[in-house]
A and B are shown apart, each in its own frame.
Chain A
Amino acid sequence: MVLTWADRLLMYALVGSGIVLLAAARGGGAGGLARLEGEDGYSRVVRLDREARYEVPGPLGVSVVEVRGGQVRMATSPCPGRICVSMGAARRPGDSIVCVPNGVLVTVLGGTGSTADAVTR
């Protein structure tokens, strides 16, 4: 027997607590914030854990920003290319959705971001 029972117990405990902590981190996600910016200094911070639609004014008209499932995306936009709509949803801190023609900017707020900003070996 390569692994003693104590070895096994330790491994099970580790994997178990890892999974439990992971689940806890998922479930209890405090919910991020996003800043919506538009024309004439329009700026508001909205919660990502609350489903809602926000109308953000721009020079071309109203862009509708939708928050759902902890993500934020551009639902409709009066701009010509609809590039902002096709950008999809933003979720992680630092992610952003930009509509250049309509001057609307959506930025997910929070820490330094969950993606690596430095990698070491």
Chain B
Amino acid sequence: MSRARRIALLGMLVGVSLVLFLVEALLPQPLPFLKIGLANTVTLFVLLTMGVREAVAVTVLRVAAASLFAGTLLGPAFALSMAGGLSAALGMGAAARFGVPPLGIVGVSVVGAVCHNLAQLGVVDALYAGSGAAWGLLPAALLISAGAGLATGLAARFALVKFGRHVEVLRGATA
């Protein structure tokens, strides 16, 4: 894929993930930390169609722009989002690549959700709670990760089935 195509495609995908982020922000949240992480669908999509580096790039750009929209740029919430997003992207990259028992899209997505939550709990513990207090949320985080990972995994699979071919066409166009 030519450089221009790649940049255009990644830019569009960052836009898609931002829209998903904003849509999710509009949904009611029954619990403060209960979040599906729809925007992560794009990270997973990019990871599977393009690669880890692209997935990390899209995630970093999304978190930066999303926190700009939410008015939390460079605040503590930004640290949380960035840590969660980055570790999810890297964790999913590792899971997709080295997952010894063959993990499917949903499995990779669940790994990402777990990484996301673990990283956020770690940051919360380091910044605020201290002395491991935040890890009291670990059981809830694991349960939520399973559900959220399943949801985003299925969404990513849907996207892959629907649009993956277009990315392949773009990639193949100049390959």
Contacts and interface: CB of A to CB of B under 8 A. Distances in A.
Contacts, number: 83
Contact of A3 (B72, B106, B133, B145): B106
- How many interface residues does chain A have, given as a range? 20 to 34
A4 B107 contact: yes
Nearest to B136: A25
A14, A19, A111, A114 pick with most chain B CB within 10 angstroms: A14
Given A7-B110, A21-B139, A121-B25, A14 B102 contact: no
A121 B70 contact: yes
Interface string A1-36: 011111101110011011111100100000000000
B103 A4 contact: yes
Contacts of A15: 142-143, 146
B101 interface: yes
Given A18-B143, A121-B77, A2 B136 contact: no
A24 to B, nearest CB: 8
B135 to A, nearest CB: 10
Interface of chain A, main secondary structure = helix
Contacts of B140: 18, 22
- How many interface residues does chain B have, given as a range? 35 or more
B103 A6 contact: yes
Nearest to B95: A10
B104 A3 contact: yes
Given A19-B143, A120-B80, A14 B110 contact: yes
Contacts of B103: 4, 6-7, 10
A115 B6 CA distance: 45
Nearest to B131: A111
Interface in B103-140: 103-107, 110-111, 114, 129, 133, 136, 138-140
Interface of A: 2-7, 9-11, 14-15, 17-22, 25, 111-112, 114, 116, 119-121
6 shortest A-B CB distances, which residue pairs?
A: A7-B107, A18-B142, A21-B139, A6-B101, A18-B143, A22-B139
